[in-house]
Amino acid sequence: MQMSSSRDRIIGAAAVVAAGLVVGAIVLDARRPKPGRFDGRLWKLVGPQDDDRLAMADDLIERKKLDGLTRARVRKMLGEPTDTGQFQPGAFAYRLGLERAYMPVDFEWLVICFDDQEKVTRYWIATA
């Protein structure tokens, strides 16, 4: 009987530690600032490997912040685009993070096209 009681205490302690780790991870994630509105400084800080760009790109599109901007202004605002060769020639593409899907396999991209006067004509989020 003594052995079973020690084993039960160890299992109980391990369960308490595991629960503490899970709660700690949830609290830390909740305290991490989540971008929503576009912030140029944060955009450049998080980089293309971070999914935080997804919400900021949604905000850029929703608030039409790219309408009529010049190629130079977009470059200043978002940094250097990624040369992917996957989108229209001359378009800028910015990797936003893994696609928002149950089992993501591709990345989402902010694609920006320009006219002959170097002004933004259209933009969208693509998966590739």
For 52-71, write each residue's pLDDT tens digit: 899 999 999 999 999 999 99
Polymer length in residues for the chain: 128
At 7 the pLDDT is 74
Residue where the block lists tokens 């991870």 = 25
Q: pLDDT per residue over 77-121, tens digit each?
A: 999 998 888 898 999 999 998 998 889 889 999 999 999 999 999
β pairing state of 120-127 and 92-98: unpaired
Query: Would the pLDDT of 6 be above 90?
Result: no
The confidence band for 125, taking pLDDT boundaries of 50, 70 and 90, is very high
Q: Give the best-scoring range by mean pLDDT among 4-18, 35-49, 72-86.
A: 72-86
Residue where the block lists tokens 């229209």 = 88
Question: What is the C-alpha to C-alpha distance for residues 64 and 58, in angstroms, rounded to an integer?
Answer: 10
3-state secondary structure of 10: helix
Query: Would the pLDDT of 25 be above 70?
Result: no
At 4 the pLDDT is 66
Query: Would the pLDDT of 43 be above 70?
Result: yes
Arithmetic mean of pLDDT, 18-38 = 62
At 64 the pLDDT is 96
